[in-house]
Amino acid sequence: MFEIVEKRQLCHTVYLLRIKAPRVAAKRKAGQFVMIKINEQGERIPLTIVDSDLKEGTISIIVQEVGKTTTEICALGAGDNVMDLVGPLGRPTHIENFGTAVCVGGGIGVAPIYPISKALKEMGNRVVSIPGARTKDLLILEDEMRAVSDEMHITTDDGSYGHHGFVTQILQKLIDEKMKIDIVIGIGPIPMMKAVSNVTRPYNIHTLVSLNPIMVDGTGMCGACRVTIGDEIRFVCVDGPEFDGHLVDFDELIMRNRTYLKEEKMAMEEFTYHEGTGQCERCET
Amino acid sequence: MDIKDRMKIPKQSMPEQAPAERVKNFREVPYGYTSEQAMEEAKRCIQCKKPLCVGGCPVNIDIPWFIDLMAEGKFVEAARKIKETNTLPAVCGRVCPQEDQCEKVCVIGKKGEPVSIGRLERFAADFEREQGEVAIPVIPKWSGKKVAVVGSGPAGLTVAGDLVKKGHKVTIFEALHVAGGVLMYGIPEFRLPKKVVQSEVDYLKRMGVKIECNAVVGKLDTVDELLENGYDAVFIGTGAGLPYFMNIPGENLVGVYSANEYLTRLNLMKAYLFPEYETPVIRGRRVVVIGGGNTAMDAARTALRLCPEEVTIVYRRSREEMPARVEEVHHGEEEGLKFQLLTNPVRFIGDHEGRLKAIECVKMELGEPDESGRRRPVAVKGSEFCMDADVAIISIGNGANPLIPQTTPDVKVNKWGNITVDYETGGTSKEGVYSGGDIVRGGATVILAMGDGRRAANAIHRYLTTGG
Ligand SMILES: Cc1cc2nc3c(=O)[nH]c(=O)nc-3n(C[C@H](O)[C@H](O)[C@H](O)COP(=O)(O)OP(=O)(O)OC[C@H]3O[C@@H](n4cnc5c(N)ncnc54)[C@H](O)[C@@H]3O)c2cc1C
Ligand SMILES: Cc1cc2nc3c(=O)[nH]c(=O)nc-3n(C[C@H](O)[C@H](O)[C@H](O)COP(=O)(O)OP(=O)(O)OC[C@H]3O[C@@H](n4cnc5c(N)ncnc54)[C@H](O)[C@@H]3O)c2cc1C
Ligand code: SF4
Ligand code: SF4
Ligand code: FES
């Protein structure tokens, strides 16, 4: 059992949870994630470790309600427990002094970009951050991002805050203004990461993205998380989650993440209305 | 009873769920013997002076001895006798390939059917368990030594059981949220009920073994850190990992699974109870399983229980070369499993949403024998054809789990990533570190993994007590 010691709402559908997991807290590095299963019947889902507190032995995760499991997690509060939590999984982000690092975060993607920006900053990089959201209310970790950025450009799709438009427009502008960019790290919805990679490709700017496929074990045993990188199949949970954005087959990832659309919808409806037995009519299963 | 009379007793058949019935549920297929049947079957053993069966068992169970106890109805005593050499009899009695091991060499089998050693073993273990709490052996005083076991599959469980019984403190670290390894996530409920595995794990806990789930060694502590933090020896039993894919077009389409993923979703995560259990799986209308081993058979028979229209095994050689146990192939066939032999997929074909809809295959014929001594399958030119399929399950084997070797470079591995050990002791290239099971052998069997565990436990005990 892993106790939730603090819960904070960051915006409409996004919550920060601080969970007691001292051994994970002691080992985790930027870029790594945990798999969480909240109860006996639960699914195992991957969530990025956003921060850790060594003194208190806690890790922080930021969760967006998108389906049944994430909604259930967000319904938990301080004092509640999650049954299983394993990590830190995945390879840590390779952090060095690149020079100037542009950190692009879209929506909930600001959560995983934050620990990476922080680590880059601590290594002496000049961090230029571009956090974006659909609208002002959905922007998360603004203060935290500001604290680790040398330069910050906020964008909202609807213009309610910061630049009116997409994160990629700012990135393009910085490139056009001849900013010397040594690395770009983009994390957010898959179409956004694809767009960021498309912006930097013609200029050959090294671009990392963090992939979020469906996972089961998270330890390299099942292959559910496989993605195509260049001509190779790679497993995100052990080879990633970060990959060269110029080599990722994003369309395939989008397609694979839609695998259980029907089932997810059904689970969510069941969860919301407590209806249906879910039994196959033809047999006992 | 003299030998002649014993040899007249017919082999006792095992009652089982009828195929039409069992294909609709996940309950165990055979019901097991009754006490009368078990005693009758035990009487068929002629108590050889030089029992060949014992040599056929990788852990050398004293088979005539325990069978003799069973013939007298002393089932609990029989179970204890077995447990002197085999920690997991209820498991082995169910999943051992007996026809290739103990029963293959039983003398009774020369003229007729061999003694059903596996079924008797299973009966004794089940009987003892169902009697109520299984008595635990006397645990000696603590030796002052601590051992870390990485992985809770049959290899790790055996090492842990043997070493607590010798007075050492043992902690098992398991990456998943439950202990048991393949016994829990791979082999299906209808072949090995999870409560059987669970009770074996509980038995170890009652003997004092500590089990820490959700603990990935290499990500939390590394092997070196375990050794620095007070463990005197480490056993690595991390099993196989990284499923192989075929590297053909369309392999990442929605609906194409590895057998590991498919079985993990269904066994470990209970996707057949979706949405009560939250992990989904595509049930499929036409399911194709690629491969001919036990894992393929398990995946196929699991798929049958989700009531699709058809489940077909596609295998590139002929039936004789199929590595799966004959009994499992037979069970599958009874349940309606189809076989498309001498056939190999060349391409997966998807619809506009990227969902699998068909598999292009090519017919194969058997050519010259290859290194494994089996005739090599070669594609027949121009024989391509398409099979409808919305779920494909690839079951062509696993590579080695890389996590420990990556983080412990002084543990040597071979070119396939399997840990190299001294066969007699399980000792690796690193002092105090031992290994066994699938991470050493590649894909093997439960009983071989346990045999490795037994040898390693003896060597670790020697190392801890005499330093050598
Ligand atoms: C390495 C990694 C790190 C992640 N970190 C975070 C994080 O820090 N915070 C966070 O909120 N989420 C994170 N995710 C995504 C998170 O795991 C999914 O949102 C979650 O599994 C959805 O579960 P659900 O049952 O609530 O939704 P479901 O009912 O399974 O899905 C609902 C919707 O989400 C989509 N979806 C399903 N799986 C994923 C996925 N893996 N990624 C994105 N969308 C998905 C579905 O297509 C569907 O539209 C991460 C994923 C990975 C692989
Ligand atoms: C579907 C299927 C059916 C089979 N059927 C049969 C059968 O009928 N008869 C038979 O004899 N054999 C069968 N086998 C083979 C048999 O199950 C294996 O040979 C045996 O389980 C190997 O045991 P093991 O202890 O080496 O490893 P495993 O059982 O693979 O267990 C290894 C454990 O280590 C854990 N682990 C891995 N890395 C780490 C880490 N870094 N830290 C902590 N824990 C870790 C894993 O999560 C796993 O639980 C089957 C295998 C499969 C997949
Ligand atoms: S452990 Fe396996 S091989 Fe040994 S006697 Fe039992 S069934 Fe036979
Ligand atoms: S070989 Fe057969 S008959 Fe002889 S002791 Fe073993 S089981 Fe009994
Ligand atoms: S999630 Fe199973 S291999 Fe990555």
Per-residue model confidence as pLDDT tens digits over B155-209: 999 999 999 999 999 999 999 999 999 999 999 999 999 999 999 999 999 999 9
**What are the pLDDT digits (tens) for A2-57?**
999 999 999 888 999 999 999 999 999 989 999 999 999 999 999 999 999 999 99
| Residue B88 to residue B153: CA distance in whole angstroms | 11
- pLDDT greater than 90 at residue A269: no
CA of A252 to the centre of ligand 2 (A): 31
Q: By the CB < 8 Å criterion, does A267 face chain B?
A: yes
**What are the pLDDT digits (tens) for B128-164?**
998 877 778 889 999 999 999 999 999 999 999 999 9
Which ligand has its closest atom nearest to the C-alpha of A36? 1
Mean pLDDT for A63-76 is 92
**What are the pLDDT digits (tens) for A102-111?**
999 999 999 9
Question: Element (H or E) spanning B261, and its range?
Answer: helix B259-263
**What are the pLDDT digits (tens) for B234-283?**
999 999 888 999 999 999 999 999 999 999 999 999 999 998 899 999 99
How much is the ipTM here? 0.91
**Which domains are seen in chain A, by residue range?**
2-89 (2.40.30.10), 100-210 (3.40.50.80)
Mean pLDDT for B63-74 is 95
**Which domains are seen in chain B, by residue range?**
3-130 (1.10.1060.10), 146-241+399-466 (3.50.50.60), 245-396 (3.50.50.60)
Q: By the CB < 8 Å criterion, does B396 face chain A?
A: no
- pLDDT greater than 90 at residue B112: no
pLDDT band at B321; cut points 50, 70, 90: confident
| Residue A127 to residue B260: CA distance in whole angstroms | 42
| Residue A104 to residue A84: CA distance in whole angstroms | 31
Mean pLDDT for A264-281 is 59
CA distance A161 to chain B (A): 36
Mean pLDDT for B327-342 is 93
Q: CA triplet B6, B10, B15: central angle to 5 degrees? A: 130
Q: Are the beta carbons of A280 and B307 separated by less than 8 Å?
A: yes
Q: What is the torsional sign of CA A115, A119, A122, A125?
A: negative
Q: Are the beta carbons of B280 and A282 separated by less than 8 Å?
A: no
CA distance A22 to chain B (A): 11
**What are the pLDDT digits (tens) for B343-380?**
999 999 999 999 999 999 999 998 888 887 778 899 99
CA of B92 to the centre of ligand 3 (A): 6
Q: What is the pLDDT of residue A281?
A: 40
Q: By the CB < 8 Å criterion, does A44 face chain B?
A: yes
**What are the pLDDT digits (tens) for B98-109?**
888 999 999 999
Binding-site residues, ligand 1, Cβ < 6 A: A 33, 43, 45-48, 61-64, 66-70, 108, 111-112, 212-215, 241, 257-258, 264
Which ligand has its closest atom nearest to the C-alpha of B81? 3
